[in-house]
Amino acid sequence: MIIVLEPQATEEQIKRVAERVREFGFEVHISRGVERTILGVIGDRDKDQLAQAVEAMAGVEKTVPILHPFKLASLEFHPERTAVRVGPVVIGLENLVVMAGPCAVESEEQIILTARAVQAAGAQILRGGAYKPRTSPYAFQGLQKEGLKMLAAARAATGLPVVSEVMNPRDVELVGEYVDMLQIGARNMQNFSLLREVGRFGKPVLLKRGLAATIEEWLMAAEYILSEGNYQVVLCERGIRTFETMTRNTLDVGAIAVVKALSHLPVVADPSHAAGKWRWVGALAKAALAAGADGLLIEVHPDPERALSDGPQSLNFANFASLMQSLAPLAGALGRRLEVPSAQAV
Ligand code: PEP
Ligand code: MN
């Protein structure tokens, strides 16, 4: 339930209503908008009596039941859109943010070379996996702590903030020490102890949608992080499992529009893991932006044929630079901004 206060409600009245909510045994979340203040009521129990009590109080305009189980993640509860700050970069404003880099960090040369190339093409955040969730235990698992150090070296060389996946609650502190944003992978979207741990840790989180998760389950996963007090969450649509096999996953473009309507959190898309093949990445990237995505996560490798993971879906430097060139005018047509250096400079 939300409690909508009158535009002229005083601070004293707001305080009294919040106290009343707590007396009933519920938690309260205060959202101060430009026009008016909204109190979100959190708790599992029936709220009818509370609604009657507060509707009689000075300063209260009305109460509105919230039908969705996610509260802190919902736009109704929190009508101001959230902007997430990753180092010097802000996700969720008019400008679009592109995060790019290899699936896995393979060597210091590879990550620094890629960081320079994606930066020259207009990417603002470097991605790179140090802990890789591989389907096979015999496949390359990532360079782990050495990989994190290489990411930090690439950040020092370019100034790009970095995002990297954390797979285990035990590693949150270690990964969090090296990266600017913690990625929760699709396979861990419902690892609730990991979600709580990154919520407590407090650094920005990139929360990927699970392979077979509904939009509601995805937003409930975000709710776990928010409920620990960390509002710096960016949602990432990366394709879901369907009967289709020509693409690795099916990019749920509709989910991007739906989540933008349901939640105040920024949403980005990962066309690389959705496509599974580099040839389809550009088309999916454009579709995602048209649906309202606030940015993109794209896999780029200096030599995709020799990549240790996800080579077939990785763009080489030239293809990434030309995709970025084609996204800039699209951003303008969508009323967004994407600053891409001129083609000659790339
Ligand atoms: C990745 O970003 O490299 C990755 C493993 O993604 P996902 O969790 O979406 O499969
Ligand atoms: Mn990958």
Tell me the mean pLDDT in the region 265-288: 98
Is 84-333 CATH 3.40.640.10?
A: no
Residue 93: name the closest of 339, 344, 337, 340 by CA. Answer: 337
Give the length of the chain: 346
CA pair distance 107, 154, nearest whole angstrom: 11
CA pair distance 297, 148, nearest whole angstrom: 19
Give the Å distance between the CA of 111 and the centre of ligand 1: 17
Nearest-atom number in ligand 1 for the CA of 127 is 2
Give the Å distance between the CA of 48 and the centre of ligand 2: 48
Whether the predicted pLDDT of 296 surpasses 60: yes
- What share of the chain in percent tops pLDDT 90? 95
Of the candidate ranges 53-57, 67-71, 195-199, 282-286, the one whose mean pLDDT is the lowest: 67-71
- For atom 10 of ligand 1, the residue with the nearest CA is 186
Cα dihedral angle (255, 257, 263, 266), rounded to 10 degrees? 100
- For residue 270, give the ligand nearest its CA: 1
pLDDT recorded at residue 344:
61
Nearest-atom number in ligand 1 for the CA of 209 is 9
| Ligand 1 neighbourhood includes 208 CB (under 6 angstroms) | yes
Q: How many CA atoms lie within 13 A of 53 on its CB side?
A: 13
CA pair distance 307, 291, nearest whole angstrom: 31
- For atom 4 of ligand 1, the residue with the nearest CA is 185
- For atom 6 of ligand 1, the residue with the nearest CA is 185
Q: Which amino acid is at 69?
A: P
| Ligand 1 neighbourhood includes 248 CB (under 6 angstroms) | no
- For atom 9 of ligand 1, the residue with the nearest CA is 186
| Ligand 1 neighbourhood includes 238 CB (under 6 angstroms) | yes
Q: Which amino acid is at 309?
A: S
- The more confident residue out of 127 and 66 is 127
For residue 267, give both structure tokens.
Answer: 């949403």
For residue 49, give both structure tokens.
Answer: 């009596």
- For residue 187, give the ligand nearest its CA: 1
Give the Å distance between the CA of 26 and the centre of ligand 2: 42
| Ligand 1 neighbourhood includes 148 CB (under 6 angstroms) | no
| Ligand 1 neighbourhood includes 185 CB (under 6 angstroms) | yes
- Residue boundaries of the structural domains of the chain: 2-64, 84-333
Of the candidate ranges 64-68, 85-89, 300-304, the one whose mean pLDDT is the lowest: 64-68
pTM of structure: 0.95
- For atom 3 of ligand 1, the residue with the nearest CA is 103
| Ligand 1 neighbourhood includes 293 CB (under 6 angstroms) | no
pLDDT recorded at residue 35:
84
pLDDT tens digits for 187-219?
999 999 999 999 999 999 999 999 999 999 999
pLDDT tens digits for 14-66?
999 999 999 999 999 998 888 889 999 999 889 999 999 999 999 999 999 98
CATH class of 2-64: alpha beta
| Ligand 1 neighbourhood includes 133 CB (under 6 angstroms) | yes
Give the Å distance between the CA of 144 and the centre of ligand 1: 15
Report the run of H or E that residue 296 belongs to, with start and end: strand 295-299
